[in-house]
Amino acid sequence: MTGISIDVPVDSPVSVAIALGGNLNNPAETFNNALTRLNDHPKITVAARSPWYSSPPMGPPQPDYLNGCALLETSLSPNELLQVLLETETGLGRVREVHWGPRTLDLDLLLYGDRLIESDHLTVPHPGLGDRAFVLQPLTDIAPDWVDPRSHKTIQQLLQTVDCSQIQLAVNQNPPTP
């Protein structure tokens, strides 16, 4: 961890990247509802959101996933933001039953400014960031030049190292939130 407590609010807004994933009910609608809830929080502004993409699931047999990313500005600490993300998942029907199993909504904290964070319950950048085409493709759409503080590569450079052949632009986009 470099110079930041995960529990203490920050002095000025920090740019944050999150991933959204889901494969139950209507993920596009759920994503838009999640972004609306986040934007309604007094210490979070949704600055941008990617198009939605479909991809095959990781883990047990289940329906394909819808995935996307969003950029936020927040004055919440990393731990506070994580709690808001978890509460948003729960509020929109997330039930944790099977690891990598089907879900209505998964919100992952990918990047918190240029910070490296290692704690018992939070690792930023997200440990799977550099390996997951279903995260890198939508993140490249909205933040291609963001530098991953662990690898020191841009998101665009990381995208060039993964197989995107199974990532498809989703038909159901729903109107974008902010």
In a domain, residue 87? The reply is: yes
pLDDT tens digits, 20-70: 999 988 899 999 999 999 999 999 999 999 999 999 988 778 889 999 999
Out of 49, 94, 115, 132, pick the active-site residue.
94
Predicted pLDDT of residue 59: 76
In a domain, residue 2? The reply is: no
In a domain, residue 36? The reply is: yes
Quickly state the pLDDT bin for 158 (edges 50, 70, 90).
very high
Q: Catalytic site residue 163?
A: no
Out of 11, 64, 96, 106, pick the active-site residue.
106
pLDDT > 70 in the chain, percent: 86
In a domain, residue 7? The reply is: no
In a domain, residue 140? The reply is: yes
- Looking at residue 57, which CATH number applies to its domain? 3.30.70.560
Q: Catalytic site residue 40?
A: no
Q: Catalytic site residue 37?
A: no
Predicted pLDDT of residue 177: 46
Out of 7, 64, 103, 141, pick the active-site residue.
103
| Total number of domains constituting the chain | 1
In a domain, residue 78? The reply is: yes
In a domain, residue 176? The reply is: no
In a domain, residue 91? The reply is: yes
pTM > 0.85: yes or no: yes
Q: How far is CA 148 from CA 23, 74, 135, in A?
A: 27, 19, 13
Quickly state the pLDDT bin for 3 (edges 50, 70, 90).
very low
Range of 67's domain?
A: 14-169
Q: Catalytic site residue 49?
A: no
3-state per-residue secondary structure call for 7-18: CCCCCCCEEEEE
Out of 49, 108, 132, 148, pick the active-site residue.
108
